[in-house]
């Protein structure tokens, strides 16, 4: 599936359960009828909110591509949908398909850029607590220290891995699935890799509380930007929007974050990020 040339835009961490962020969603508009939008997770916590937000965006953009964040995978007390773990994820995939939104379970779309086609690959890769200090060989010890310091992700209470025995096991399964998909099909094409969690350990060095990196990814994806010929890597989760380069590859953290965060940054309405064409005017 191919697209005419417009813009490939990206956003994440919309958190539309916050009233101020619903106003942000209202401001997200295409610049042309040919624009695509990547939504890299954490649209919201309630299934109804996720469906509403992706429905709004899918009516505005020529194509919407979604990768799940940890908040979509929560089973919060106030949600009418009580599904957990894999069943919750699959339920969200079916909602997306009903809206015409592409997911990590669908064929990768091909963006027809001016410098040639690019595979846009939404991924669902979790974390396995391997983003930790080198002197902490055991993740149990790293988690114990994080708990002692009061740095604990809410996932520990609301993100259930069912039917897997642990989030690490679910992550391992998702790594296998993602590798298989990336290594089949149009493997000759360069890619835009999309994942809610950072794919590169170095991306988390900016965190104020390094313990939180435990819930941010897996070292098994550290070289994916090279292995899968990425022109750009899109991610969120950190709520620290920025552009960085690793091994010559552009990494875009595209989070909106909570109102208190984007208001503190001075954003009246937080912008969405242009991924392609590149800022230098081409797709390289």
Place of tokens 């209470």: 157
**pLDDT computed for residue 278 by the predictor:** 78
Reported as type and span, the H/E element at residue 158 is: helix 155-158
Rg (CA), the chain: 18
How confident is the model over 78-91, as pLDDT tens digits? Answer: 999 999 999 999 99
Each domain of the chain, given as residue ranges in start order, spans 8-276
How confident is the model over 155-180, as pLDDT tens digits? Answer: 999 999 999 999 999 999 999 999 99
How confident is the model over 183-226, as pLDDT tens digits? Answer: 999 999 999 999 999 999 999 999 999 999 999 999 999 999 99
DSSP 3-state of 36: strand
CB 198 within 8 A of CB 69: no
Percent pLDDT > 90 in the chain is 87
The class level of CATH for 8-276 reads: alpha beta
Phi/psi of residue 60, nearest 5 degrees: -95, -35
**pLDDT computed for residue 284 by the predictor:** 37
For residue 163, say if its preceding peptide bond is cis, omega within 30 degrees of 0. yes
In the structure encoding, which two tokens stand for residue 46, read together? Answer: 């309630």
Under the banding of pLDDT at 50, 70 and 90, the label for residue 269 is: confident
For 49-83, the DSSP string reads: HHHHHHHHHHHHSSEEEE---HHHH---TT-S---
Place of tokens 């592409």: 102
Mean pLDDT (the chain) is 94
Give 112's strand partners.
Answer: 117
How confident is the model over 235-257, as pLDDT tens digits? Answer: 999 999 999 999 999 999 999 99
């Amino acid at each position: 599936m191919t697209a005419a040339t417009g813009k490939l835009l990206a956003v994440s961490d919309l958190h539309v359960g916050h009233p101020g962020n619903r106003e942000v969603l209202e401001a997200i508009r295409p610049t042309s009828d040919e624009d695509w939008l990547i939504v890299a997770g954490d649209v919201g916590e309630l299934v109804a909110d996720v469906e509403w937000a992706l429905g709004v965006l899918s009516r505005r953009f020529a194509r919407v591509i979604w990768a799940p964040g940890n908040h979509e995978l929560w089973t919060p007390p106030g949600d009418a949908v009580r599904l957990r773990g894999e069943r919750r994820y699959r339920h969200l995939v079916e909602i997306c398909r009903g809206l015409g939104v592409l997911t990590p379970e669908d064929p990768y779309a091909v963006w027809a850029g001016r410098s040639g086609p690019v595979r846009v690959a939404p991924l669902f890769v979790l974390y396995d607590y391997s983003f930790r200090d080198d002197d902490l060989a055991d993740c149990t010890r790293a988690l114990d220290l994080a708990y002692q310091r009061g740095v604990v992700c809410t996932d520990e209470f609301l993100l259930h891995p069912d039917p897997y025995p642990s989030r690490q096991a679910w992550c391992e399964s998702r790594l296998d699935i993602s590798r298989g998909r990336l290594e089949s099909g149009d493997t000759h094409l360069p890619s835009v890799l999309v994942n809610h969690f950072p794919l590169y350990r170095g991306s988390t060095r900016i965190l104020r509380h390094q313990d939180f990196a435990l819930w941010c990814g897996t070292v098994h994806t550290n070289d994916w930007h090279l292995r899968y010929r990425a022109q750009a890597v899109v991610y969120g989760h950190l709520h620290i929007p920025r552009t960085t380069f690793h091994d010559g590859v552009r990494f875009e953290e595209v989070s909106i974050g909570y109102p208190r965060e984007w208001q503190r940054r001075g954003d009246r309405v937080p912008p969405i990020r242009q991924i392609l064409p590149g800022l230098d005017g081409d797709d390289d």
